[in-house]
Structure 1
């Protein structure tokens, strides 16, 4: 005995298939404007553009018009205050922050070294003047005082102990992926 075929079933099935196809096309061609915006989180790799200035407005570092700075948040590849500043930012967002020395480059008294004047003369051939740049191996420092017996050199970076101002723009966020680090 042959089964009776109900033509309405074929029509309904075809109708639902068409609805499904048009629904897929609509989602692909017309995505919802309510997309979730990605925010920088710990572990994300970000590309940023920045300008760093001292309180007097002097620029001490910038990558504007150059390659972006790429780092992974939480990996301590940049100073803590800079890392903290990008947390929660979105692509295209610009933020201005002021970072305290303890969250950037704290002044380190141990980086100020006194040398015997005679040793400095032996190493350099002469006694450098106050303000002169000197090298000791891979370290670079500034002569801060000279007297009859000693030469004092400060090996702290020039930004140490200062408040640093940054204008930061997030250019790209990669979650659990790696951007090419700069």
Structure 2
């Protein structure tokens, strides 16, 4: 029998992520199992915490509150930008995704939430912030060697990068 999973272990897991209403937002079904190092910050905290203590072959369903997933919606992440600061030739639509810049000049993904005569309201919260998530988990393998850090999303994946140097 394999040892119980702990922080620092590299494992593979099959998973299905759903919203509370049952709609699936992500799944490893039909793909390779997800390989990650537990506690490394590659995944949301609640997912990491959920696999601790499990062993290969274990299955369970966990419900994650927003605080253990992508966080609560934060009012401070809603930004009003005066239209005078937006190029006149820029055509904006509700739901459009753009990249703003934080004070350090780093890109911050945001969605156009509202357009008025005077301003554009941008929401820079993670798209899944404020949502309770449900995961069906099945541990496939434990005791694996960690992969070299990589990141192929160009800085737009909404995850904590593990060292690719792009962001």
- Structure with max Cα Rg: 1
Alpha-carbon offset, residue 171 of structure 1: 0.8
1:73-120 Cα deviation digits (max 9, x unpaired): 122221111011001111121111110101111123332221111222
RMSD (CA atoms): 2.0
The separation in 2 between residues aligned to 1:167 and 1:73, in whole angstroms, is 17
Q: Please, which moves more after superposition, 129-138 or 43-52?
A: 129-138
Equivalent residue number for residue 98 of structure 2: 134
Tell me if the contact between 2:8 and 2:37 (Cα under 8 Å) persists in the aligned partners. Answer: yes
> Hey, what does 1:109 align to over in structure 2?
75
More helix by percentage: 1
Could you tell me how far apart the structure 2 residues matched to 1:53 and 1:178 are?
29
Instruction: Report the equivalent of 1:178.
Output: 145
What does 1:30-109 correspond to in 2, within 5 Å?
36-106=1-71, 107-109=73-75
Instruction: Name the CA shift for 1:171/1:129 in 2 (closer, same or farther; >3 Å).
Output: same
| 8 Å CA contact 1:143, 1:153 repeated in 2 | yes
Q: Deviation of residue 127 (structure 1)?
A: 4.6
Q: Structure 1 or 2: larger strand share?
A: 2
Q: 2: distance between equivalents of 1:111 and 1:69?
A: 30
CA distance in structure 2 between the partners assigned to 1:133 and 1:71 by the alignment: 29
Structure 2 residue matching 1:105: 3-state secondary structure: coil
Q: Distance in 2 between matches of 1:127 and 1:118?
A: 14
Unaligned runs of 5+ in 2: 102-106, 151-167
How far off is 1:166 after superposition? 0.6
Of 68, 84, 87, which residue of structure 2 is paired with 1:118? 84
Q: What is the CA–CA distance in structure 2 between the aligned matches of 1:37 and 1:86, rounded to whole Å?
A: 14
Q: Check conservation: 2:14, 2:138, Cα contact below 8 A.
A: yes
CA distance in 1, matches of 2:70, 2:34: 18
